[in-house]
Amino acid sequence: MANNEMNSNGIGDSNKNKQSGAKSSNAVMDVVRNYMEERCANDPILAIKYANPAKSLEKALNFVAHEVQKSGLTIMDSDSVFSLILHYYDENLEDIPNVNCKIAVAKELTDTERAEAKEQAMVQYKEEQLRELRRQNQPKATAPKHTATAPKAGEEINVQPNLFGDDF
């Protein structure tokens, strides 16, 4: 993930958007809003807390980002995020400082997209294995060995001295 952005089900730190704190896409807001509305439909006490004008989804997500930052994590699963959001609405929390991060939501793959991704992964795996086999079967390049032969007895040695050794 680039810039430690939150992945599909989590939250991550980012150095982007320094001035205004946590940035959430409309998709994140929609997911959280839908979750809270479903919960409020079954829990009237939570519905009253959710309607509190002093609290907002933006502040709830900033609280989540603050808690994630305190924990040292960069990714958090959706159940943990929703748990923290419920905690935000349940408690009377002091002002939470703005956290500079980007929040994102995972996209659930359809069966077709999942099958295509699996097929692409298989093709990539086969290509990598084939490259590795070809690399292993290539003859190893060996440097020609310089062999020095001693002059035979009685032959004159006609060698010029080399200051750099025998390799040059």
User: Which tens digit of pLDDT belongs to each residue from 72-100?
Assistant: 887 888 888 899 999 999 888 877 888 88
Residue 141, C-beta contacts closer than 8 angstroms, at least 6 positions apart: none
> How many percent of the chain have pLDDT more than 70?
69
Higher-pLDDT residue of 146, 57: 57
**pLDDT of amino acid 36:** 93
- Other Cβ atoms less than 10 A from the Cβ of 20: the count is 9
Question: Mean pLDDT highest for which of 18-27, 80-89, 151-160?
Answer: 80-89
Residue written as token pair 């991060």: 101
Task: Give the residue-averaged pLDDT of 127-135.
Answer: 92
| Overall pTM > 0.85 | no
Q: Which residues of 129-165 are buried (b: 16+ CB within 10 A; e: fewer)?
A: eeeeeeeeeeeeeeeeeeeeeeeeeeeeeeeeeeeee
